[in-house]
Amino acid sequence: MGFFLIFFPEEEEEDEINNKKLKPSITFNTLLRRTSSVHLVSKAQSTISICALLVFFSLLLFTLSTFEPTATPSFPRRQLSSIKLYKPMNKPRPNLRPIESVHAFQGMGSLYTRGSKGMNSLIICHVMDTVAVNELGLFLRLVLRSSLTSRSDLLFVFPTGKSNIYDYVVRQENDSFLELITRFKELNESSELGASFDVTQFVKSSEKMKGSVETIWGRKIRSGNFSGENETELTQLSYGSVVGFEVDELDPENSLAGFMDHVPLSLRRWACYTLLLGRLRRKFKHVMLVDVKDVLLLGDPLGRVKNQSPESVYFSTTAKHGRKNNHQKDVITPSIISGGARGIRRLANSMVTEIVRVAMQHKRKNSVTDSVVLNQLVGNELLTSNIKVVVSSESIPEASSLGSVVLSDHSVVRRGNSNFEDIRVALMKHICSFKLESSVYSSDC
């Protein structure tokens, strides 16, 4: 009889065998975990380094952005030959804040002069492609000297790509005017240095300036002293802001381009007004629209609309010779329009709609003019039912029909067919006859 024996290994021997089998796998897993940990640590260090670099560069850019370098405008030689250089300011203005090279409003436009306070009125001046720099210079010089800019902001609408051409002249004229009113203030308003306009309107008592609202143009200033004057002084300067926009900034999509082959600035400006006044809603009480090429402002024509309702719009007329019997007929001119901010905004909306309607009816789309459209619009009571139309009974005089002294007695004159150089000589002759102004505009006197 045989025996079949089965031998079982002891537990210790079995555990030892199993440990030998598992040891390689345990070592491999441990190695993987160590590698993964090293990779995560390296990745975390890289992430931290990148974040630190981003923070460093952000702080560097923020620090650099706080400095405002004084940029000297550069012009091609052809442009320089057409620019009339004005008398540089030799005397520093310690009490006036230097011009900031910043955007005028919501990341758009250029701020030429930051006003001493917020104003109730806005003058919008559109500059046609054909306006020369010396024409713009004279227009701005006259507007600044008028009483308008002591209570109004001045806004220019430039053709696309042309703002850099006019920039130098605008800044020089602003400097000259600020120098003029500063000299008047520093001389304690001495009667020995007379001026052709009322300079006292630009010098207000400190009590009246207290509580003034800050202007909306440019960067907000934390200090409550907007005019840049010493609070201990009895009088402070009071003047409006001067800003400029290109049409592509206000109307980036060229709203009227789909209805006509070429949209001139005289028509496109109405779309700009619609967008601009929509953003400036309730910021201004009165608005004036002015054509730099055709009109010169010597006084304050806004006075006639300040007692009118916000929906009122004041239209001026010019005498036009008719084809039959050569008789004169007064027609509404689009060169100067004033009124309440609400009424001007509604007029701009109606003009855009009417321009589109007229353009679609005309076979020759480029024959549409703002003068024709405006006269059709004002003549249609149904289209102007939401505004109060006020048409002047007196037409705007033309500069050529007035003498140098009589010329200065009018608040608004038309250039018309007058020679620009003749107008400039006549006006500067009158300005230079006053000692204070001749000392500032000595290069033209």
Over the stretch 20-34, which tens digit does the pLDDT of each residue have? 444 444 444 444 455
Residue closest to 200 by CA, chosen among 180, 227, 223, 174: 180
**Would strands 242-246 and 110-113 be described as parallel, antiparallel, or unpaired?**
antiparallel
> Which whole number is the average pLDDT over 40-52?
70
Residue 408 pLDDT more than 70?
A: no
246: confidence class by pLDDT, cuts 50, 70, 90: very high
Q: What is the largest CA-CA distance in the chain?
A: 156
- Strand locations in 22-116 (E): 110-113
Cα–Cα distances (Å) from 73 to 42, 54, 138, 312, 404, in that order, read 50, 33, 20, 41, 35
Q: What is the pLDDT of residue 394?
A: 82
Residue keyed to tokens 């001119």: 333
Q: Which range among 69-83, 295-309, 342-356 has the greatest average pLDDT?
A: 342-356
CA 79 to chain centre: 23
Q: Three-class SS string for 318-332? A: EEEECCCCCCEEEEE
What confidence score (pLDDT) does residue 186 get?
79
Provide the pLDDT confidence category of residue 289 given band limits of 50, 70 and 90: very high
Could you give the CA distance from residue 293 to residue 278 in angstroms, rounded to a whole number?
26
Encoded amino acid at 54, one letter: L
Average pLDDT over residues 315-341: 79
CA 342 to chain centre: 20
Highest mean pLDDT among 91-95, 203-207, 211-215 belongs to 211-215
Spatial separation of the C-alpha atoms in residues 373 and 30, rounded to whole Å: 86
Residue among 320, 307, 275, 277 nearest 416 (CA): 320
More confident site: 268 or 49 = 268
pLDDT digits (tens, 9 = 90+) for 150-179: 999 999 999 998 888 899 999 999 999 999
Least confident window among 80-89, 170-179, 311-320: 80-89
HSE-up of residue 183 (Cα within 13 Å, Cβ side): 22
Strand partners, 158: 246
Residue 384 has pLDDT above 70, yes or no: yes
Helices (H), 84-231: 133-145, 163-186, 206-209
**What pLDDT score was predicted for residue 209?**
79
Per-residue H/E/C for 346-403? HHHHHHHHHHHHHHHHCCCHHHCCHHHHHHHHHHCCCCCCCCEEEEEEEECCEHHHCC
Residue 249's pLDDT band, with cuts at 50, 70 and 90, is very high
Across the chain, mean pLDDT equals: 78
- Whether residue 51 is predicted with pLDDT greater than 80 in this model: the reply is no
Range 172-201 burial, b when 16+ CB lie within 10 A, else e:
bbbbbbbbbbbbbbeeeeeeebebbbebeb
List for the chain the helix, strand, coil content (%; round to 5): 45, 15, 40
Report the pLDDT value the prediction gives residue 404, as an integer from 0 to 100.
54
Q: The tokens of 294 are what?
A: 């055709």
Question: What pLDDT does residue 323 have?
Answer: 54
Query: What's the whole-model pTM score?
Result: 0.75
Sequence-distant (≥ 6) Cβ neighbours of residue 293 within 8 angstroms: 127, 128, 130, 131, 135, 415
Number of Cβ within a 10 Å radius of residue 383? 16
DSSP symbols for 4-37 = -------HHHHHHHHHHHHHHHHHHHHHHHHHHH
User: Tens of pLDDT along 106-153?
Assistant: 889 999 999 999 999 999 999 999 999 999 999 999 999 888 999 999
